[in-house]
Every structure is written in structure tokens, then in C-alpha cells.
Amino acid sequence: MPAPAFRFLHASDLRLDQPLSGLAELPDEWKNIVAEAPFAAAQRVFDAALRERVAFVLLSGNLLDTQACSPRAMAFLLDQFEKLEAQG
């Protein structure tokens, strides 16, 4: 008898705290969008995990630098992990 199937979500290289370069060369209306892009992408990953009710989320490589991360990045991740845990 085959094992029951399960679904999971894998993401890597979110780099939530990596400084962005080249922002000065962008038009003003794009600067904030580009600066917020890593968090927006990560939010979409977690939203998809919740929407699709995956069994687990695998985050591998270059999520953030735990030795130099910002309080914002750590709080963001903790909030997302709590949401996942709440949904089981």
C-alpha cells in the first residue's frame, strides 16, 4: 500500500536583510517597491503555504543573517512562523 501523499513548500534565498545596491539610480516611485521586495516575496511564500495548507515549509539557505539581522526581519519571521503554527 502506498504511503499517503503530502504537500510541502520549499523556498530559499529570501535574503531579508541583504542591503540592496543601485537604489539611488531608480526613479523615486520605484525605490520603496524595490527596497520592500524581499519582504513582499517572503510574505507571498507564507501566504501560499497557509492557503494551500501544506504539511510543512522548508526554508533553506540565505534566509537572513542571524548574527546581523534587523529586528524587523526577525519579528517578521517569528510572526509568520506563529501563523503557520496556529493553522497547524
Cell numbers for 66, please give them.
542571524
**C-alpha distances in Å from residue 84, one per residue of 17, 20, 37, 58, 75:** 22, 28, 21, 12, 14
pLDDT tier for residue 1 given thresholds of 50, 70 and 90: confident
| pLDDT digits 0-9 by tens, 32-44 | 888 888 999 999 9
pTM (2 decimals)?
0.83
